[in-house]
Structure 1
Amino acid sequence: MKRSSGARIAATVAVSTLSLALVTGCSTEESGGSKALGSESATPTQAAKARSAGELEKLLLAAGEVKGYKVATGDDTLPKSKSVVKTDKAACAPLAWAMAGLAPGDTDASVSNTVTADPSSDAASKPAEDLTEADIENAFSVNMTFVGLSSYEGDGAAQAVKAVSDGIAACSGGFAITAQGETQKITKVSSQQAPTGGDESVAFSVDSDMDGEGTATFNTQVVRQGSTVATYYTVDFAQMGTGKAAEVPSAVVDAQAAKLK
């Protein structure tokens, strides 16, 4: 697989420490679907109170809470602040922030971690001479979801979801992200079917140029529960060469939503 240094941001926006230069050119996935907002009747009131960052830390998914997944703090893989994730169009910033596990709205109360699928494989018990090509491919299969939680005063959480929704429409023709000293070109933004549950939700996919070696597609979901917004951005390295986007795992979304109730 040919390596591409610029693909690091395509895979994780601002995460160079994951060595995502292994990710290379992929074929474009046509991403139809449409934006979906959840319960419009659950309008937040001006009295809504934000949770603190400390409270959000306790609400993040922890080890052992999602069967088949490993949970890590994300301290070494996720950007620390919005200041390190820049876009060439202001309206597109909430999309980039959601993809990086950062708050898509105006708040300082935000936390993030990573949830990685733990693949089942018997390859580890096989002698080297018995390993198949599939075994070797599976050994490098990593399905990782960046989970971000942010909380807001008043109607700030609803405004954060609206900023993402507005960004999908405003940035449909693409935008540029600069992070960790690299710039990545997003060539297309498309609305997707949003998850059910929560007070409202929105989902989108982005097509990202892989240094002229093709296009990769990535999915993000944003869900509001009261004054708290959860974001999910998933990368599956095993699918990078197939032209398919990794689905955000429903098990992760459901488990996180349960902790926010």
Structure 2
Amino acid sequence: MKFSIITLFPNVINNYVSQSIIKKALDKNLIKVEIIDLRTFSKLRHNQIDEYQFGGGKGMVLMPEPVVEAIESIKSEDSFVILTSPQGKTWKQNHAKEFVNNHKHIIIVCGHYEGFDERVLKYVDQEISIGDYVLTGGELPALVLLDSITRLVSGVINQESHEKESFENQLLDYPVYTKPIDFRGELVPEVLLSGHHANIQKFREEQQIIATIKKRPDLIDESKLNDHQLKIYKEYISKGEK
């Protein structure tokens, strides 16, 4: 899988991809990351790529020509072009799965300033937002997309890690513990020390339900719960606990 990231700040992207899991994926040739400096497509003095908007208004807007030419310089039949934008579809775990399964080349255009000339949208396949808030630039959203998709690429991390994560079954992850067993009077749950795998699994399913009810009740879809989870959910709700 290949990622091409069009940005005004190449070093921001480069610094991140040279670390941790992304670097390991690059070293194993599981992914490729291409970083394109948008300013190299400017035809104006001082590599200008932004301009004041017609009709008045505060802030500078990215002009269409450099953005579109940057996209066209790397786009092929297999490419899918994303524009990071607060107006886009909110990114979720299931979207990361769809992208890793359906796209070989993902182009991510990082937004900046007060946005883009509206005519850029004709050359974009989808606008994506990472949440209902505004950032100074699209580099962080681009890295969120890169990271969340890359970790799902086969061979990047252990498959079992995906299956047990938050949001994989519309539930948050269960709580985990490590040494010491006693930390300032708070003990690791005894069941986790028992070695009884069936009981441990049961405990973890229960804790997933409880954690989701407490922290993200909006995620719960009863139709997606197995019989054991549904029983736990109904019992917990009936008690009126929070």
* Structures share fold, TM-score greater than 0.5: no
Of the two structures, which has the highest relative contact order with CA contacts closer than 8 Å and spacing of 6 or more?
1
TM-score normalised per structure 1: 0.23
**Structure with the largest fraction of strand:** 1
Q: Compare CA radii of gyration and give the structure with the larger one.
A: 2
More helix by share: 2
